[in-house]
């Protein structure tokens, strides 16, 4: 089941936080059903197989996601961590994570939605306490609220991804320049 989830942020916890898009305007929720949540876990590569979830799994995932986003924002802006968000993330990180298994075909990760969420929470803890913190940036598209890791030379990356926001903004800027440019004079 491919639902075209977007993975452009450079880290699974960042992509998870981005499952609520356009937070400042239209707010597009990706995690609307247990099936969509499980599809995200599968498409992210976090698990190879996942047991069916329920509405409570969706509620828990959204709660952890919002805590991760709050903490990312705190860290990015140099603020103290929000205490409630910290408690939510640490509580989720204490749960049993995905446990890889070795099979004849190789590594296999089968999990419950709760185990997948605990794994995302642990990844967020590692990110928020690790060396990539200074590389966290928010997308330059005013409609986008994705946070990404900027590993570009000189940290000049402006968008979460060229495929998503970069091309849209570049095309809009080009159209705006063409509209305001003086009409070229005709050749003699």
What pLDDT sits at residue 7? 87
Residues 6 or more apart in contact with residue 40 via CB below 8 angstroms? 3, 5, 16, 19, 30, 31
* Domain topology for 12-180: Jann2411-like fold (1.10.3300)
Residue 19: count of CB within 10 angstroms of its CB: 21
Give the whole-angstrom CA distance, residue 88 versus residue 36.
Answer: 22
Kindly give the confidence (pLDDT) of every residue in the chain, 188 residues in length, as a single tens digit, with 9 standing for 90 and above.
444 677 889 999 999 999 998 888 878 899 999 999 999 999 999 999 999 999 999 999 999 999 999 999 999 999 999 999 999 999 999 999 999 999 999 999 999 999 999 999 999 999 999 999 999 999 988 888 899 999 998 888 888 876 668 665 555 555 666 677 665 555 55
Helix (H) or strand (E) holding 115: helix 113-128
What pLDDT sits at residue 170? 59
Give the whole-angstrom CA distance, residue 7 versus residue 19.
Answer: 10
Residue 30: count of CB within 10 angstroms of its CB: 19
What pLDDT sits at residue 3? 47
Helix (H) or strand (E) holding 174: helix 167-180
What pLDDT sits at residue 173? 57
Q: Determine the 3-state secondary structure of 28 from DSSP.
A: strand
What pLDDT sits at residue 1? 42
Helix (H) or strand (E) holding 111: strand 110-111
What pLDDT sits at residue 107? 95
**pLDDT tens by residue, 52-103:** 999 999 999 999 999 999 999 999 999 999 999 999 999 999 999 999 999 9
Sorted by where each begins, the domain ranges of the chain are: 12-180
What pLDDT sits at residue 117? 98
What pLDDT sits at residue 2? 45
Give the whole-angstrom CA distance, residue 161 versus residue 179.
Answer: 26
45: left (phi over 0), alpha (psi -120 to 50) or beta: left
The single residue listed with the structure tokens 């996601």 is: 65
Give the whole-angstrom CA distance, residue 173 versus residue 121.
Answer: 38
Give the whole-angstrom CA distance, residue 164 versus residue 5.
Answer: 11
């Amino acid at each position: 089941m491919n639902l075209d989830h977007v993975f452009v942020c450079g880290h699974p916890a960042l992509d998870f936080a981005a499952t609520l898009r356009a937070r400042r305007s239209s707010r597009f929720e990706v995690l609307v059903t247990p099936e969509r949540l499980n599809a995200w876990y599968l498409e992210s590569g976090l698990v190879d197989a996942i047991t069916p979830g329920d509405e409570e799994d969706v509620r828990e995932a959204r709660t952890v996601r919002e805590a991760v986003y709050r903490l990312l924002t705190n860290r990015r802006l140099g603020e103290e961590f929000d205490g409630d968000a910290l408690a939510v993330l640490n509580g989720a990180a204490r749960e049993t994570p995905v446990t890889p298994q070795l099979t004849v075909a190789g590594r296999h990760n089968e999990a419950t939605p709760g185990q997948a969420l605990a794994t995302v929470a642990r990844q967020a803890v590692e990110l928020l306490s690790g060396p990539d913190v200074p590389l966290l940036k928010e997308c330059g598209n005013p409609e986008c609220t994705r946070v990404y890791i900027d590993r570009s030379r000189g940290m000049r990356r402006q968008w979460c991804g060229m495929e998503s926001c970069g091309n849209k903004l570049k095309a809009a800027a080009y159209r705006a320049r063409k509209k305001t440019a003086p009409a070229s004079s005709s050749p003699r």
